[in-house]
Structure 1
Amino acid sequence: MKSSILNNGLISPKSFLFLIISLLPVILLNSFNYSGWENYLEVASILFLFCCIFFFFQFIFLNEQKSILALLILLFPTLFFEFFNVLILNQYLSHDNIKSVYYTNWNETIGFFKDYVKYAVIPLFLLLTLLLILFLRINKTPNKPKRKVTLGLISLVFGVISFSIPLIKNLNSYIGLSDKNILAYTLREDFFKKPPLNFYFRLNELRSYLNNYGKYLKLRETFQFKPVIQVNEQPDIIVLVIGEAMRYKNWTVNGYERLTSPNLLDQNNLISFHKHFSNANQTSNSIPTLLTRASPKNFEKAFQEKSIISLFKEAGYQTYWISNQFIFFLENEDEPDSLIANLEIPEITDLATLEPFEAILNADDENKIFIVINLIGNHGIPPLPYKNHFKPNTSAKKIIDYSESKEELINDYDNKILFQDYILGKLIKELEKKEKNALLMFTSDHGIRLFDDEDSSIFGYGSDRPNLNELHIPLFIWYSENFKKNNIEKLHNLKKNQNKGSDNLTIFFTLSALSGIGFDNFLDHKNLASNNYVELDSFPVFFKKRYEYFQIP
Structure 2
Amino acid sequence: MLKNNLRLTHFVLLMSFLNFLFFHLPFYRYVFNNVDYKSFNGVVLIISLIILMLVLNAFVFYLFFSLSRNLGKFLLTIFFLINSVAVYFINTYSVIIDESMIGNILNTNFEESSSFFSIKLVLYIIFLGIIPAIFIIKAQIIKDSLRKFLTLSSLTLLFIAVLVFANASNWLWIDKNSKKLGGLAMPWSYSVNISLFYIHKYKKNEKEILLPKATIKDNQKSVVVLVIGESARRQNFSLYGYKKNTNPLLSAQKNLFHFDASSCATYTTAGVKCILEHTNSDDLYEILPNYLYRNNVEVIWRTTNWGEPPVHIKNYQNREYLMKDCKGEGCNYDEILLTGLKEQILESKKNKILIVLHTSTSHGPLYSKKYPPRFESFKPVCNSVELGKCSQQELMNAYDNTIVYTDYILSKIIDDLKELKEYKSTMIFVSDHGESLGEKNLYMHGVPLSIAPKEQYEIPFIVWVSDNSKQLKANETVSQNHVFHSVLNFLNIGSPVYNEELNIFK
Partner of 1:285: 270
Q: Shift of the alpha carbon at 1:450?
A: 4.5
Conserved 8 A contact 1:386-1:418: no
Partner of 1:524: 500
Calculate percent identity across the aligned residue pairs. Answer: 21
In structure 2, relative to structure 1, the CA distance for the partners of 1:272 and 1:401 (3 Å cut) is: closer
Partner of 1:317: 297
Q: Shift of the alpha carbon at 1:270?
A: 1.6
Partner of 2:434: 447
Q: Shift of the alpha carbon at 1:442?
A: 0.6
Q: Paired residues, what number?
A: 372
- TM-score normalised by length of structure 2: 0.61
Correspondence for 1:265 among 251, 254, 258: 251
Correspondence for 2:408 among 410, 422, 426: 422
In structure 2, relative to structure 1, the CA distance for the partners of 1:422 and 1:185 (3 Å cut) is: farther
Equivalences for residues 17-416 of structure 1 within 5 A: 59-60=62-63, 66-69=68-71, 71=73, 184-187=182-185, 202-211=194-203, 213-215=204-206, 217=207, 220=209, 223-235=210-222, 237-273=223-259, 275-295=260-280, 299-300=281-282, 302-303=283-284, 305-328=285-308, 330=309, 332-333=310-311, 335-342=312-319, 349-355=333-339, 357=341, 360-361=344-345, 363-364=347-348, 368-379=352-363, 381-385=369-373, 388-395=376-383, 397=384, 400-402=387-389, 405-416=391-402
1:426 corresponds to which letter in structure 2? K
1:291-334 Cα distance to aligned partner (Å, 9 max, x none) = 11122xxx14x41x311113322443221111222122x3x13x
Partner of 1:23: none
Q: Shift of the alpha carbon at 1:408?
A: 1.6
3-state SS, counterpart of residue 430 of structure 2: strand
1:357 corresponds to which letter in structure 2? L
In structure 2, relative to structure 1, the CA distance for the partners of 1:58 and 1:419 (3 Å cut) is: closer
3-state SS, counterpart of residue 428 of structure 2: strand
Q: Shift of the alpha carbon at 1:343?
A: 8.0
Q: Shift of the alpha carbon at 1:259?
A: 1.5
Conserved 8 A contact 2:229-2:359: yes
The answer to whether 1:502 aligns with 2:502 is no
2:488 corresponds to which letter in structure 1? S
Q: Shift of the alpha carbon at 1:390?
A: 0.7
Provide the rounded CA distance (Å) in 2 between the counterparts of 1:462 and 1:61: 32
3-state SS, counterpart of residue 298 of structure 2: strand
Conserved 8 A contact 1:449-1:461: yes
Conserved 8 A contact 1:323-1:343: no
- TM-score normalised by length of structure 1: 0.56
In structure 2, relative to structure 1, the CA distance for the partners of 1:96 and 1:409 (3 Å cut) is: closer
Q: Which runs of 5+ in 1 are unaligned?
A: 16-51, 77-93, 100-132, 150-178, 531-553
In structure 2, relative to structure 1, the CA distance for the partners of 1:430 and 1:187 (3 Å cut) is: farther
In structure 2, relative to structure 1, the CA distance for the partners of 1:457 and 1:368 (3 Å cut) is: same
Equivalences for residues 535-550 of structure 1 within 5 A: none
Conserved 8 A contact 1:319-1:370: yes
Provide the rounded CA distance (Å) in 1 between the counterparts of 2:182 and 2:427: 40
Provide the rounded CA distance (Å) in 1 between the counterparts of 2:103 and 2:433: 22
Conserved 8 A contact 1:250-1:417: yes
The answer to whether 1:462 aligns with 2:442 is no
Conserved 8 A contact 2:182-2:188: no
3-state SS, counterpart of residue 261 of structure 1: coil
Higher relative contact order (CA 8 A, sep 6+): 2
Partner of 1:512: 488
Conserved 8 A contact 2:7-2:141: no
Q: Shift of the alpha carbon at 1:142?
A: 8.7
3-state SS, counterpart of residue 235 of structure 2: coil
2:486 corresponds to which letter in structure 1? T
1:267-304 Cα distance to aligned partner (Å, 9 max, x none) = 1132222x222222332322222111122xxx14x41x
1:248 corresponds to which letter in structure 2? R
In structure 2, relative to structure 1, the CA distance for the partners of 1:74 and 1:201 (3 Å cut) is: farther
Q: Shift of the alpha carbon at 1:209?
A: 2.6
Conserved 8 A contact 2:65-2:71: no
Conserved 8 A contact 2:7-2:142: no
3-state SS, counterpart of residue 502 of structure 1: strand
In structure 2, relative to structure 1, the CA distance for the partners of 1:203 and 1:348 (3 Å cut) is: farther
Question: Which deviates further from its counterpart, 501-510 or 312-321?
Answer: 312-321
Provide the rounded CA distance (Å) in 1 between the counterparts of 2:56 and 2:289: 47
2:201 corresponds to which letter in structure 1? Y
